[in-house]
Amino acid sequence: MELHEAIKKITPPDAEFEQKAARRLDEQARPDGSLGMLEDNARRLAGIAKTLDVHLAHKVIVTCAGDHGVVAEGVSLFPQEVTAQMVYSFVDGGASINVLARHAGAEVRAADLGVSHDFEKELQIFHKKIDKGTGNIRREPAMTRDQAVLAVEAGISMVEELAAGQRVDMLGTGDMGIGNTTPSAAMLAAFSGMDPSKLAGRGTGLDDAALVHKIRVIKDALALHQPDPNDPVDVLAKVGGFEIGGLAGLVIGASACGIPVVCDGLIATAGALIACELAPAAKSYLFTSHNSVEAGHRFMIDRLGIAPLLDLKLRLGEGTGAALAMEILDAATRVLAEIRTFEEVRIRNARQE
């Protein structure tokens, strides 16, 4: 599905079911609002699923991978080869995301959007490579505009393929890409106009001197390319990443298919930010999983205006926060469906006294 077609397919969740959910939550035999964000998310999920008995039995986390030319500037402690090595680990089932996804009852699918490695065709991943890594954004654009659109459309196509082959009740998004905190911070700086020194974090564990250098790299990239904050595709093309485009496409594709989607930390949220800048209607289907310790993440969350579910000092990526948040969202569905109302338990509602 083409990008513009997918955006046009996004329709609002069912307001009537959201209202029904809100009434049921208000009538349950407990203090009004006492389950906080569980109630808010239960109401949202009811509107998306068009039922008061939502079941998230079939959950999938797609971890998008891509390499970045900017690693040549020394912005990461790890070599670029680690990206491909981690994709194999995701397939083998031994990575952090695999462990947490199993606990959440979710399937993990890895996707190659731009890894600088030729994966075997038979490897069980989404083969969506746009190119073998982006350009070094300190010296050249990350990608062409056409490539940026292709990356987003690759994410949309992954949702279509998943939905055609199986039931998907919830989609999670995660990332893998050595050096990708640098383009993520650059994209946020482009959209917000904020100083990169407030947005760039330590990534893989940079020391103070390396962090200062990373900030300089981001400033140089922004000064060179002047990405247009009113044109999300331009921002992605000039200072983004192939996997970030894929992550944006996952959010748009899920929204177009009426599937709730929960994003992980900094990089996955950068993808979600691109998605919502392109398609504001997608925000109704988006859940943010956690507060990352990466400096720029809270500003991304603020811009999206969607409160994260967890604050566990996470900064790994891969979709780990999304996996954990899925369990919270599972609980929210049971809160709505299974907690009895005052009438059902035959208790006079004290709130009406």
Q: Which residues are catalytic?
A: 318
How many CA atoms within 13 Å lie on the side-chain side of 141? 15
What does the alpha-carbon distance between residue 179 and residue 235 come to, in Å, rounded to a whole number? Answer: 17
Strands 286-288 vs 261-263: parallel, antiparallel or unpaired: parallel
CA distances from 45 to 26, 54, 55, 203, 204 (A): 16, 7, 10, 33, 34
- How is residue 25 written in tokens? 């939550």
**Residue 96: count of CB within 10 angstroms of its CB:** 18
**Residue 344: count of CB within 10 angstroms of its CB:** 11
Burial 122-132 (b: 16+ CB within 10 A, else e): eeebbebbbbe
CA distances from 21 to 39, 89, 305, 331 (A): 9, 41, 22, 15
8 A C-beta contact, residue 125 and residue 87: yes
- How is residue 15 written in tokens? 């307001």
3-state secondary structure of 224: helix
What does the alpha-carbon distance between residue 218 and residue 181 come to, in Å, rounded to a whole number? Answer: 10
3-state secondary structure of 323: helix
